[in-house]
Structure 1
Amino acid sequence: MPHGKFDPEKITDVQEAFWVGLTPQRVANMWEAADDWADLSPEAKEFLRGADKEKIKQLNSTISFMNAAGIIGKFLWIGGATAFGLFIGLTQLWKAFGEFFIVKVK
């Protein structure tokens, strides 16, 4: 039951159920949630206030897409660098074989 000034005779059933259910862990959870909310930017708070299931699904989809795009971009960059390296290596090898097998005519 709550501490402080209150009249236990005038407490309603709902109020009593609230105070009985208010365990130390639930109080800690409420404090943590309040701290997390206070740390959010005003834009994030506004987004969360107006967010519905559809917006959250869209946000999750966008995040997944951006992660995939980043992975594909890295793959293409590495593939391009490898192709460029192979091209340079093969042209040098072609040049070396050409110089070795050249037929000099007098």
Structure 2
Amino acid sequence: MPAKKKIDGPKLINMVETGIHQQEIMKVFKFNTAAQLRAHYLEALMKAGKAPEIKTGRGKAKANPSKEVLVSKRGSVVIPKTMIDEMGFSAGNQFTVRKTKSGISLKLTGK
């Protein structure tokens, strides 16, 4: 995917608000499609504070990190770093694993 064009947001907003035709705006900013024009216009509005930011999954960490873990293809259990830090574990810690009625239990045994 090509890098996003750098545009003059306030100029784009001004052109749209003054009623300049879409084709003319596309020529000035060298947009190939109307979708590019709309995407850049929305981005300019958000940067100018005229439209609320769209929240995405990228960037900031989640407020409530998931408590789910993953079993890799090799059979390793992968615990997210946020959970490791929250529980005070560090590299080299050793555990015993037991099967329980509700699932599994990890008990810290070393280091």
Question: By the TM > 0.5 criterion, same fold?
Answer: no
More helix per residue:
1
Bigger radius of gyration, 1 or 2? 1
Scaled to the shorter chain, the TM-score interval is under 0.3
TM-score under structure 2 length normalisation: 0.24
TM-score under structure 1 length normalisation: 0.25
